[in-house]
Structure 1
Amino acid sequence: MGGAVSAGEDNDELIDNLKEAQYIRSELVECAFRAIDRADYYLEEFRDSAYKDLAWRHGNIHLSAPCIYSEVMEALDLQPGLSFLNLGSGTGYLSTMVGLILAMSKILKSYLKATDKEAVIKGPFGVNHGVELHADVIDYAHQKLDCFIKTSDSFDRFEFCEPSFVMGNCLEIGPESRQYDRVYCGAGVQREHEDYMRNLLKVGGILVLPLEEKLTKITRTGYNTWETKKIIAVSFAPLVLPKHRENGKPRTVPLPAMFEVRSLQDLSRISIRTTLKKSVSGSWPLPRRVGFRGRSRAKQRREHRDSTLLTNRYVFMSRLIPGPLNDNHHPGTDDEEDDCRGVCEREEDEVEDEEDGRRKEGRVLLTEAPVNLLRERILSLPLPEPLKMYLLYYREK
């Protein structure tokens, strides 16, 4: 399924094509698609096909066509703080885009509409769960999620409602399980399972699923009332029916906890990252605005490099803050800071000559700002005393 739009040379050009063909219609969905590179979810030997509007499958690993994901994201009408359940979560590509919107949609909306420059959401919040049948696909999704968190520029720009994946058959979720605001099923559903899927929704919730060869949006308008809308014709592999157990007892899929309690260290890092985003580089760059058809591709690439430069400055500054302790219960070494500084300086040297003034300004920030000055600034923030003492210990080391 797919092939509705032309192939792109990169992720941004693919999104441009989807927008031009009206598969992507809202700026919020467009920002989420631009923030996640589709090719990152392909195996390396298949990356050349990542920007075609085609589905991809390798063994149990599967990605739907970009035009399908576009329609799904638009139909879900995601909002901040909602709970989302992805049935057949696969590689985690869709769940990762959803995670950005759940935590950041108000910021993106205020930026795009230019009506509320002070809007800030402290995240992450919302609920982002996935159920996947195959253990190898769960492992693959965890690898891609870990790579996104450690290497993606978008993770440093935005807050993120991290998805949680569990293994099991989505038709074995217990009838007493919790309900969600938004549900998506990534496998073909027959009419006899429609009521089962509907019961996973809260009142006011939205379910998007392939129902008898049609991508369908079902809105729960009341306890026993529903609105149904057919979107486009699709072709999905059917749901795998549960296997009968020998003892005859039903098997139930244990869904993740609705709200997880984060450690003090996680909460401290979230607070520090948020502060650094606002203080180190001012307003943080968001995914590129739409309407690039009137601009040259070279100018778009310059804007992307400038955004990457700002990201690397932030990554350098944020890594001066201690993260998870190593095996000896000590923070990272000075060598790691030197490596990070070197990466940032090399990125600056690649900026074009017309950006020379800005590049020099960045080099001063990276090479002349004393490390202790940044730590003193953090210590002056209204942080809990135990955290200040921890940072003080790290500074003196």
Structure 2
Amino acid sequence: MVRPGFESCLLIGPALQWKFRKEVPFPCLSPVRMGGAVSAGEDNDELIDNLKEAHYIRSELVERAFRAIDRADYYLDEYRDNAYKDLAWRHGNIHLSAPCIYSEVMEALDLRPGLSFLNLGSGTGYLSTMVGLTLGPFGVNHGVELHPDVIQYAYRKLDCFIKTSDSFDKFEFCEPSFVVGNCLEIPPECRQYDRVYCGAGVQRDHEEYMKNLLKVGGILVLPLEEKLTKITRTGQSSWETKKIIAVSFAPLVLPKHNTNGKPRTVPLPIFEVRTLQELARISIRHALRVPTDSGEGQPRPRGSFGGGRGLGVGGLHKYGPRFKRRRVHRRHCNSVVLANKHVLRSSGIAYPLTPDSNNNSGEEEQGRAHRGAGEDEAAAEEEEDEEEEAERETGELLRVEPPVNVLRERVLCLPLPEPLKMYLLYYREK
């Protein structure tokens, strides 16, 4: 129960129901950062910019993952207008946590390509998909979700991401697998993971249960007794614990007893060994993604078409696709400096100073240059505003052309049968 005087909002997610406070004084933590503290953005990129400015997103790897996936794609169409607010969203059993919660979790997990990840309460699959971009094709990405309808929703969103998002072609991906069940019914003999996240409140009674899901050297992030906590397994029986932020979660949903008295178990997805066909597909896509000569004997810059295992090495775009509309007409830069008795402007034109500039005339000339620059900038702003107003009236606001999906174009140009091309593009039918 939230104490009087604290502002709270309700997040109800798969296999869990949990609350968190917007601002809760906690003596051992830096200022608490919770949902609603970040300004709303106009689109996904602006939301990420705000999260960075507020220091929720602190690493380039996490920033790339957030930019590569449009948060609005995981909303129902009628609620997309709220996607770029730093707030949780819920509709029935479907939920998304506040962006600041996901960013704190992603930072704490310290993900790297090739690791294994278990998401307890996987929900829409939004977090698991971001993790998959980071793990690369040789990682393991599993989720457990209580509600079957949410599993179906997650797989629909995953299929849409694979078939339509350019991020799938720009970064190598570890596809998540979800199973229905209660995360407290995982058999004790199950395989352990490098990274585990639990999205429900965990009491001390279940702390050891959660720790046993980790490999030595692994990281567990969970809300433990009203504090989002990072636990690192340093040895077979040694642990390091770090408190991240103060939160208030409803506890995990306890398992129901079977009528026959036997405990129910949740079979986790199996750790599949890659087939030769899958390895060939991964290798071909990677080879097509690697930089090649531009035709003039100069190698293509790595940032223009990079490959790699996961987001750690880069992609076609440094931060994945950017959906925000950018105006073509940019404001002119009119910064003025003095160098060798010439006034240099950003246009590259040098304006000579008068001969009497030995005394204070240089300062006067610089002042006049700055005033002139200010007038030019004001005129440019006025012109740009007039153009924008005219474009609004005609309904023809300028848009930047979307970047070319080079990997897809290269695959389609290969002299291969059409079904094989579709397999390389991952247009697969289940």
* TM value normalised by structure 2: 0.65
Q: Offset at 1:226?
A: 1.1
Question: What SS does structure 1 have at the residue aligned with 2:118?
Answer: strand
Aligned to 1:393: none
What amino acid does structure 1 have at the position aligned with 2:279? L
Aligned to 2:80: 47
The alpha-carbon distance between structure 1 residues 260 and 188, as it changes in their structure 2 partners (threshold 3 A), is same
The alpha-carbon distance between structure 1 residues 316 and 331, as it changes in their structure 2 partners (threshold 3 A), is closer
Question: What SS does structure 1 have at the residue aligned with 2:223?
Answer: strand
Q: Offset at 1:233?
A: 1.7
Deviations 1:295-315 (A, max 9, x none): x954799xx956x3221x432
Find out whether 1:64 has 2:97 as its counterpart: yes
Match of 1:309 among 388, 403, 411: 403
Question: 2-side partners of 1:256 and 1:202: how far apart?
Answer: 17
Q: Offset at 1:228?
A: 1.1
What amino acid does structure 1 have at the position aligned with 2:282? I
Question: 2-side partners of 1:242 and 1:8: how far apart?
Answer: 40
Question: 1-side partners of 2:115 and 2:146: how far apart?
Answer: 24
Aligned to 2:126: 93
What amino acid does structure 1 have at the position aligned with 2:98? A
The alpha-carbon distance between structure 1 residues 220 and 146, as it changes in their structure 2 partners (threshold 3 A), is same
Find out whether 1:139 has 2:152 as its counterpart: yes
The alpha-carbon distance between structure 1 residues 197 and 10, as it changes in their structure 2 partners (threshold 3 A), is same
Match of 1:209 among 222, 225, 244: 222
Question: What SS does structure 2 have at the residue aligned with 1:197?
Answer: helix
- The answer to which structure, 1 or 2, has the higher relative contact order (CA under 8 A, 6+ apart) is 2
Match of 1:80 among 89, 113, 117: 113
Q: Offset at 1:273?
A: 1.9
Question: 2-side partners of 1:4 and 1:233: how far apart?
Answer: 14
The alpha-carbon distance between structure 1 residues 207 and 331, as it changes in their structure 2 partners (threshold 3 A), is closer
Question: 2-side partners of 1:261 and 1:272: how far apart?
Answer: 15
Question: 2-side partners of 1:324 and 1:42: how far apart?
Answer: 33
Q: Offset at 1:61?
A: 0.6
Question: What SS does structure 1 have at the residue aligned with 2:129?
Answer: helix
Q: Offset at 1:230?
A: 1.0
Deviations 1:141-194 (A, max 9, x none): 111111111111110101101111111110000011111110000111122111
Question: 2-side partners of 1:271 and 1:169: how far apart?
Answer: 37
Match of 1:273 among 285, 289, 293: 285
Tell me, which stretches of 5 or more residues in structure 1 are unaligned? 104-123, 333-397
Aligned to 1:390: none
Instruction: Give the alignment of 1:147-226 within 5 angstroms.
Output: 147-226=160-239
The alpha-carbon distance between structure 1 residues 147 and 237, as it changes in their structure 2 partners (threshold 3 A), is farther
Question: What SS does structure 1 have at the residue aligned with 2:287?
Answer: helix
What amino acid does structure 2 have at the position aligned with 1:40? D
Question: 2-side partners of 1:45 and 1:300: how far apart?
Answer: 33
Q: Offset at 1:229?
A: 1.0
Larger radius of gyration between Structure 1 and Structure 2: 2
Instruction: Give the alignment of 1:22-37 within 5 angstroms.
Output: 22-37=55-70
The alpha-carbon distance between structure 1 residues 156 and 196, as it changes in their structure 2 partners (threshold 3 A), is same
* TM value normalised by structure 1: 0.70
Say how many residue pairs are matched. Answer: 299
Cα RMSD (Å): 2.6
Find out whether 1:14 has 2:47 as its counterpart: yes
Tell me, which stretches of 5 or more residues in structure 2 are unaligned? 1-19, 21-34, 295-299, 306-314, 331-398, 423-430
Question: What SS does structure 2 have at the residue aligned with 1:95?
Answer: helix
The alpha-carbon distance between structure 1 residues 324 and 210, as it changes in their structure 2 partners (threshold 3 A), is farther
Question: 1-side partners of 2:258 and 2:91: how far apart?
Answer: 29
What amino acid does structure 1 have at the position aligned with 2:99? P
Match of 2:274 among 240, 261, 275: 261
Identity of aligned residues (%): 74
The alpha-carbon distance between structure 1 residues 230 and 128, as it changes in their structure 2 partners (threshold 3 A), is same
Contact 2:65 2:319 in 1 (8 A): no
Contact 2:68 2:319 in 1 (8 A): no
Question: What SS does structure 1 have at the residue aligned with 2:149?
Answer: helix
What amino acid does structure 2 have at the position aligned with 1:271? S
Contact 1:31 1:287 in 2 (8 A): no
Deviations 1:194-246 (A, max 9, x none): 11101111111110001122111111111111111111122334311100000
The alpha-carbon distance between structure 1 residues 153 and 86, as it changes in their structure 2 partners (threshold 3 A), is same
Instruction: Give the alignment of 1:227-376 within 5 angstroms.
Output: 227-262=240-275, 264=277, 266-278=278-290, 282=300, 283=302, 284=305, 285-288=315-318, 298=327, 305=400, 308-311=402-405, 313-321=406-414, 325=419
